Structure formats: structure tokens, C-alpha cells
Structure 1
């Protein structure tokens, strides 16, 4: 067979598989970027040239397209600046405290930036299929009126020239981080906005996260020959640059070298650069090539990064088995930014951490390779789906790989539960379905996204059974990799696998701030009466220990489930008989259980997966 034809056939099949999904009528746009940038490391400015292939698969023609210009947020008077000045608890990384520790008075760091410190992306020219477009900048959004419509099924070619200035490092991206990294280049290029069944996603950049279409990236970076880079994708010319081979044949022109990267089927590209960087690498048992790029400022830092590299390779093997195979050839962990942030096949993390903190942030950001980068979750809308599920993945990996605890007990995320309880009782909780930018406090956002989202996943296992939860994760991977699923897509898979209706659970836990609160009301030698003190009904696992030392697990399904979870093989249930009782209706505030033997101890949910905000009345013991 002709090799060119075979390659075309394989690529065609790949595109078909990644553009279709179980949900009937699903479609997604695709983008392919080819960029060449020239960096002036002295002025922190660069010139960029982009060729962008944009494929319209939406079923409608497009009169306009939009790009994100994220660097424009780092200017006095921007919406990000406004938000920092007015939110009750601004991000301390992005502010200066002009008051005292006891009486803080925070000022936005953006507000004091000078003309040489601000960030910007200025579009010099933009054409579509060789014809000029009309465009205007509105904050961090570039609105482009097209010379003619992009019809359904058509691919348009955009050519763009722009110039940019890298801002002082304030949020994720920037120059001269607190740890001394020269360039942390996230959100550095004009990025095509996402268009899907919900329309254009045109969120102003005020500090939260992102959504973008999948595509291929071919990036060439021209920079001073003394710099070493880490980036998304696969480096195409390692023998011509510093850091990746013993004695590279550096090809410098005007004191600059080219770093050429290619990445396939990702939706964001990051890079960082510093003359002090060193590069290390290792390969996982399943063949994922993991790189670390960091500043070796001390022996302890070098030791921590070396240990973290080994654990990172184990992470990709563990996660591939548990949540679906990692599909890209490599992953790069780069020191930079202001904390930790995920990008396609790479992450920026701060590096001056103790070992546990370093491994934890690497595990979290690498886990985003699934929940956000393999499944293109809309973080601006479903932040809990992205951060919460990622935190669940991180916690499992930390307990299995770092803490070496082996088999995980019923609830691996008990700390997230405690944080959620604190939020739920604080008076600051808002519905987790709220758009990420719109929370009244950063406290509420963080706990909704990272902790309540994690609780949702673990508690889902309580409802449908841990084995069904594990099967749901793998089936979700099978159906939705390289696509943009919604939480409803995950819910439907969980329903199909478990046979349990979950509409009530996702609706109440995500769209409201209702709380779960059950109690053991009374216990006699002949009966137990349970009470639902809240307006959130749940199924109940009730463990009864009798006076003769035997135990029985009563399982009470919720009628709304229209099904039952199977028995679970946790250690706490070994050798215990499970008795399934009649459904508990959500309209019924109490439930009676008749006994044939005298009880000595009664516990609601010994697995601790039921997110009950008041657990003191969940245990009864005969005195």
C-alpha cells in the first residue's frame, strides 16, 4: 500500500474518532497553530507571526470570530485590576498589603504597573484567506469581523502579526518571578476563543481559568542563545540548543537560537525560559518521557526535584491504569509562574518547596492532563468538574505513591470533606454551578471547586458503589477523550453503568447550597428511627452491632435512585451480612427499622463518604 495513502487514512480515522462522541449531534471546532516568535529578553518584548487553520464544524456559518488577548489584563484599569480592588479577599499573590497583618489593606499590584511593566498584545495585521479583516480590541477580547462567512465544513486560514510585552509576573504568566525565573510564558499568544453548542465563550480574563478548542501546535521560539527552555510538546531540535544533550551543536544567528516544538491535539501551549535552568528526564514503565526544567539553587532543591521526577513517572503509570492511558509521548514539569497551573503536556509550578509540597503540586497539575486537557472541560463554567475531580485523582496518587499506604480505605478524601463542611457552615457558600468568575469570595470559589467537587466524586461512589465509580471513570475516558464533555455526560455514563438515576444528586449538590444532615433519632431493643433533618435526601448505609457481637449492614435506597448499589468490598464490611430495606422517600422525614436482636451500637455510614454536616448524631451506643 502507498505509504502516503496509509498515513492519510490513519490520520483521517484519528480525526473521525476524536470528533465524534456518544452524545448524538456532538461537534467541535478544531484549530492548528503555526507560530514563529522573536524574543528580546532585555525589553521583555517579542514579535509574533501566526498562521492559524480554523475548521468550522458547527452546522452554521460564522460571520465573526474572537481571540483572547490575555496579557491585556495586566494593565491598570483592567477588569482583573478592578476585581482585585473590590473583592473581599483578593489573591495575596496579586496584591500588596499597605496595612498591617491584623488590619490588612490590599492594593492591586496591577494598579502600580508602569508602561514598561504592563502586559499587552497588539495586533498589527490579521487576514483570512488572504483578505483583510476588520478587528477591534475590547479588554482581553479581540473581535474579528470576517471579509466573508466561514461556512459549515469549511477551513479558514488566518495570518496574524502581533507584538507583545511580557508583564511583571503577577498571575500565572510574566517575567521575573519571585523565584527568579526570567520568563513564564503562559497565555502568551492570541488564542482563538471557544465556540460550541452554547455559543462563543468570551470571558474577560480576571484571574480564573480557561476553555479552548483542540488542535496541533508548531512553535518556533527565537531567543538568546544562553537561555534554556521548557515547553509543551516535543522538542524537534535538541542537538541545537542548550540543556538537552551533552554537547549540542548550537546554531546561533544574531546571538539567538531557535527552539522548535510540535504538539498534537492539545488546547493550550506554555513555555518558560531562564539561563539558570537545568534539564533532567526519566521514562515511565509505560513509555511516557517526563522532563523536569528547574533552577538548582541548592542541594536540597536538586534532591527534591530528582525524587519528584521518579515519582512523576510512577504517577503517569498509576493514573493511566486507573483513569485511562496518557495519550501523549511526553510531559514537562517547569519551574515558573506563581503556584501551579496546567497546560497541554506541561505545567508551570513554583519549585522552592519541601518534597511533599513539590510532589503534591506536580501530581495535581499532571492530573489535569486528564481532567481539563484530555477532557476539554470548560473551567469557566464547571470549575468543580475540573478542579474537584483533579483533586480526587491527586489524592489517590499521593496516598498510593508518596505515602505508600497501599489499599485506600472507603474515603480517600476526608480532608476535602472537612473543608467542605467548614464552607457549608460558614454562610459564604454559593452554588457550585455559579460561573467561576462570579463568586463573591476567593474562599468560596476555592472550596467549591477543589473540595466540594472532590466530595461530589467520592460521594457518587457512596451512591452507586466504588466499583461502579471506577468503571465510570474508565468509560468516560473511552467515550470523551479529546472532546469537550459536560458534567451531564459524566452523569449519564454513571447512570448507564450503575442503573441508578442521579438527576436529584447532581442537581441538588451542584445547583443549590442545600446540605445533608441525618440523625439517629431513637433506638430501642426492637427498632431504630432515623431522621432526615435537612432538605437533601440520600440513601443510607446503617451498620448495627448487636449485643451478641454480630453485625448487620442495613442498606436503605432512596426511591429517586430507581435502583440499588451493589455490595462493596471494604474492610469495614468484611464478613457482614447486608440487608436491603424498602426505599426511603425524600418526602418522608423519618424512617423506621425493625430489629430481631438487641442493638449495642448503630452507625450511619461507617465509610464516612456521606457528606453529613453534623456527624455527632450519626452514632448511637448503648450505655
Structure 2
């Protein structure tokens, strides 16, 4: 059978007929042929169901969504000693990076990030910030100074490097050998800590002293992968971070009266804690209730410090992590409690916050929130891998790092729960599942927003509202001419759209997959497998798509293609309900949007009983109207599509028959 993809092909076919002396065919036959083939094309939704050609597997990433036989990751291990001066607000550090090249390629150089260079007058991030500013405005008189640099590989030492904006290119005397070659990079670094660190780090002055929130604070190796080679996008603002996994051995020297909390496990608690605080620390690690280490009325009590002058060095270690951050202040209230994990292992939840944040409607519940969040995600999806989870109050809306968050010090109640839960959720995406935040914000923000929904439903019998299941409240955005696709890079996206395309639209996509398309059993099996498979690895979007399809057993190409790539909308409707025989009805459904969907619909009968039925997505493969014959001995008085209103359907008016009875 001849199949024409478009009218141009039909024209060529007819032209060839004529050239082959079929011109004597009656003109009405050719006209009929043209009409039939054109109609066939218009009546097909083939394009909406076509495969993504670039989803095919290779030796690095398989078509089944698993790492391939040649998948690799390079490994940076860090030893850092840093000194915090609260008089000059400066960081001075020494770093040694042992870098292992597991790739199949020799490397002539190694790229690092110096992300404190974002805070200079002529950085790309500064120069691309609108005059009116945005969330990512930062100080512009800072930047990082590098000294005493050396890089050694295969017995040869190099002193050569080049700094370009927020990137540093380290040149090697000999190429770093593939499949296990090792290089060692050493340098000193120094900078003044910005007050405004783009809502991700910085310092806050409180009545009892400065709070230092330190992130993006040391030179860090960029990722070399099988997809683009070196990932060297500059740090501009909206795009976050992408790092390899390694170990961090960090020694932080701070004034004696500071409390220092960090990603990782405190290695020397007896050296930095007074005997009283140490006993409280041990008690907290065994307590399901919050235990004060430094009480609100003890902030200025120096007898609770390990020494009365000078400095103290806090030693932290974390394994299999992509980053490390810390908070330091003499103004901290400090409390903690035990986290119970599914394997029987325990961890410690901690909160550090100033007196301005104190109160049972505020940060005094932070550790309760932190413990509940980590325990929930560990039980539902994948066990938390670290020994500590710290929430630090700062002048930051909310920002995540492995095992440590910075959250707004003025947050209270539902707001504090929401930001705490969201930032701890990021330990799963992207700290465990290490996607590229700088390119694919939706793979961490969207996935995290999705799991936050279930955590909020679960917390304290639903104490706070979980709003993700109200998608029709967002219809005005879905109808906006200025909307963008989920696949838009965060640094390119209109910031007014970023909340939707990075957070809510991908989260709604996962919600539809779980609650509407696949069902919880199939979705959870596939999603848990995806997390376990790509834990501490670097999945791409296609790895997620392929994995979910293979493990859920469903071709979801039509969904990925239309929801994650594009700006079309969902609009399912009921065109008519006709009784054609005594016990037979014809129901005509229509797809008036650009995204096909299965049709779940609820029938209400004359006796007010109801029944939920479903038609598969394949009904739309041949057109946008489908007539379904339903046999029933009862009289139908109402039909409603998507009775639980999971779909962000942009047209409420055609959801029900005989009239739209849906109320927001």
C-alpha cells in the first residue's frame, strides 16, 4: 500500500503517473486519489507517536537505560585545609586533588571550576545580568586568587594554567593516560566571602555575629564524560552544578567561638566540643526527639566552647560525594536528633540557626522536619547514604549540597517545612542521581518537586498542604504565549518561566505517569530501579526515558516527546453520548490538544453508582476523534473525563457530559 507523508509526495506521485503516460486516467480519478491520500494524512497522528531517533543505545549508555559496558566516570579526591577569618571575612585555603582518568582517552589538560569568579565586575554572569537585577544578582568586587600552583602526572610537574571567567584549564607536561592514569593538582586559594552570593552562599549579620554560608568555595574539577567531553559551561546564575563523585577530607579552621557544621561526618568531636556539648551530641545521635547542643540562652556562654581563645580546626570527611559545603558562626543555636534508616543504620539530623530564627513556629522544628524528610525518602525511594543531614539558617531562599542545606532564616511553619523538605529531597536528585543541573534543571528540580509532594502528604498526617495535585490552577501558564519547553536550558530560559519548566511541569509529568498513565506499582518499580541504577552516576535525559520504558514495560515515546520537548497542551473532551440501542451507548471522545493521553473517565448511572473506565492512548494514533461503544443495563446520566483531575487539561468546558460540572 502506498503511504504519503505529505502533499508534496502526492504531487510527485501524480506527476510521475502523467510522465508514465497514465495521463489518460480520468481527471476525477486523480482528484479522488489526491483527496483520499490527503485525508489519510490529516487523519493520522503518526508524528506524535514517532520515536526519538537519538534514543538509541551505544556502548556507553544502553537502549534499556542502563550504563553500557564502556561507561566511565573520572574520580577526583580532595584534601582541603581552609582558614576562616571573621575579621576580614576571608577564606584562605590549600587544596590537593588526586584525579583519576578512567576514560578511554588520554587527556592533555584538566578543567576546573573557580566559581567564586562569578563575583567580579566583568564575569560573564555579571555582564549577562539585567540592569534591573534578578534572583542571581551577586557581589561584583570579589573573585578568587590562586597561588603556589602545580600539577603532576606521570612524573612530570607543570606550572601552567589558564583562568577564563569561572573556569581554570590545567595544562599537563605529559598527557594523562586513559584507563586509570592519575594526576595530582595542588594550589592555594583565597577570596573575600561575598555578602550576596546569588542566593546560594554568602554571609548574614545577626545580633550575635555573622553567619557564613560557604559553597562554591574551592577549586573543583569539571566533569569529563562520554556525551560532550569536558563540561565547561560557565557559571552564570540560573544553571546550577555538575560534578564527579569522589572523597572529601576537609579541615576547617575557624575562631574558637564558632560552631562549624559541614557536609560529611565530624571526625574529631572530642577536640572541638566541650565535654558538655559532646555528651549532648552523643545523646542526640540516639534520640528520636530533638536535643539541644547549644540552647538559645547559651549562645554567648563560652564555657560551652572547647577552648577560650584562638582557633579550632573542625575535621569532616564525606565519601562518594559530588560536593561539600559548610556553615560557621558564633551565633548558632545548635540542635540534633537521630535519623532511622531502613537498613537499621542511623544518621544524625542537625540544625544551626540564630536567635532571630528561634521559635516553635519556626526553626525550633527544623530538625524534626529534616529527620522526617530524610526518613521518608529513604523508605520510599533509596536509602540516604550519608551520616549527617544539616539544615543551616542563612540569608538564602534555599540551596542544597550533599548532606547540608542553606534555608531562609526567616522561614516559618509551612514555608520552613517546604524549603527544608525540598532541599533535603535534592540529596536524591542530583546528589545521589548525579544529573547535569547546568543543562537539565528539570532532572533535579522537577524530580525533587515530585517526590516532595508525597513527603508532604506523609508528614505529620498531612499537617501542611501538598499542592502538586491541583494542576488546573496552573492552566493560565499553560495557555501563555510566552511559555517555554522543559528542555530549555536554565541559563537561556526566561526567569519567569523557570519555576514552571524546571520544577512544576516536569513534576506534573511524573505525577501523571504514576497516578494516571502507569499506576503506582509499575511506576515505583521503574523509578526505584532508575535511582538505584544511576546512583552516584551521570544519567542523561534519554537514560531516564529508556529506563522507565524498559522497566515499566510501556512505550512512552508519545509522552516524552510531547510533554518534555515542546509547548503543546492536553485537552481531552467528550463530544457526545448517544444511546443507540436499549443497552448500548456510543461515547465520542475528542483530543483537541497537541498531547495524546489515555482517557480515564467516570460513568455515573441513574442510581448514582459510578464506574471508572479507561481507553488506551493508542486510540489517538489514527485521528483526534474516537467513538467507543459501551454496553450497560443501566441508564447513563453523566460522563466525566479524569475524575480526579490529575491532568493539567487546559479546557474545563468539555470534560463532562451533559455539562461541565467540574469546579476548581
TM-score where L is the length of structure 2? 0.78
1:505 counterpart = 2:549: no
Conserved 8 A contact 2:263-2:318? yes
How far is 1:124 from its partner? 4.2
Q: Please name the residue that 2:454 is paired with.
A: 396
Cα deviation for residue 447 of structure 1 reads 1.1
Q: Does 1:207 align with 2:266?
A: no
SS in 1 for 2:498: helix
Note the C-alpha offset of 1:549. 3.4
Q: Contact between 2:152 and 2:184, CA under 8 Å: does it hold in 1?
A: yes
Residue 621 of structure 2 is aligned with which of 558, 572, 586?
A: 586
Residues 190 and 325 of structure 1: is their aligned pair in 2 closer, same or farther, counting only changes over 3 Å? same
Aligned to 1:11: none
Q: 1:45 to 1:472 in 2, by over 3 A?
A: same
Deviation at 1:475, TM superposition (A): 1.4
Give the number of the structure whose alpha-carbon radius of gyration is greater: 2
List per-residue Cα deviations over 1:235-269 (Å, max 9, x = no partner): 1112222585267783688x221111111111011
Written as runs of structure 1 = structure 2, the 5 A alignment for 1:284-323 is 284-286=339-341, 287-297=346-356, 299-300=358-359, 304-323=362-381
Deviations 1:404-433 (A, max 9, x none): 379x9xx97224x24643322122211211
Q: Distance in 1 between matches of 2:612 and 2:211?
A: 60
Cα pair distance change 1:412/1:555, threshold 3 Å: farther
Residue 334 of structure 2: aligned partner:
279
Q: CA deviation at 1:22?
A: 4.3
SS at match of 1:177: strand
3-state SS of the aligned residue for 1:396?
Answer: helix
Asked if structure 2 preserves the Cα contact closer than 8 Å seen for 1:56 and 1:151, the reply is yes
Q: Is the 8 A contact 1:288 1:316 kept in 2?
A: no
Map 1:103-502; keep pairs closer than 5 Å. Answer: 110=139, 113=140, 115=141, 118-129=142-153, 131-152=157-178, 153-177=180-204, 181-198=210-227, 199-208=229-238, 209-242=240-273, 244-245=277-278, 250=306, 255-286=310-341, 287-297=346-356, 299-300=358-359, 304-402=362-460, 404=462, 413-415=468-470, 417-418=471-472, 420-439=474-493, 441-461=494-514, 462-502=516-556
Runs (5+) with no aligned partner, structure 1: 1-19, 95-108, 560-583
Deviations 1:426-473 (A, max 9, x none): 22211211222111x211112111101111111112211122112222
Of 59, 83, 93, 2:104 maps to: 59
Task: Kindly indicate whether the alpha-carbon contact (under 8 Å) linking 1:223 and 1:256 is maintained by their aligned counterparts in 2.
Answer: yes
Give how far 1:354 is off: 1.4
For structure 2, which runs of at least 5 residues remain unmatched after alignment?
1-64, 280-302, 580-584
Stretch of structure 1 that moved more, 142-151 or 544-553: 544-553
| Structure 1 length-normalised TM | 0.83
Mapped to 2, the partners of 1:557 and 1:92 lie a distance apart of 43
User: For residues 79 and 587 of structure 1, what CA distance do their matches in structure 2 show?
Assistant: 49
Q: Is the 8 A contact 1:69 1:141 kept in 2?
A: yes
SS in 2 for 1:372: helix
Secondary structure, counterpart of 1:161 in structure 2: strand
| More divergent stretch after superposition (49-58 vs 279-288) | 279-288
Tell me if structure 2 keeps the 8 A contact 1:71–1:121.
no
d(CA) in 2 for partners of 1:263, 1:124: 26
- How many aligned residue pairs are there? 552
Aligned to 1:533: 592
Give CA-to-partner distance per residue, 1:132-179, whole Å, 9 cap, x none: 242111111111221111111212111122222222223145543376
1:229 positional shift: 1.2
Q: Cα distance 1:279–1:188, how it changes in 2: closer, same or farther (>3 A)? A: same
Q: Which of these residues, 608, 612, 617, is aligned with residue 649 of structure 2?
A: 612
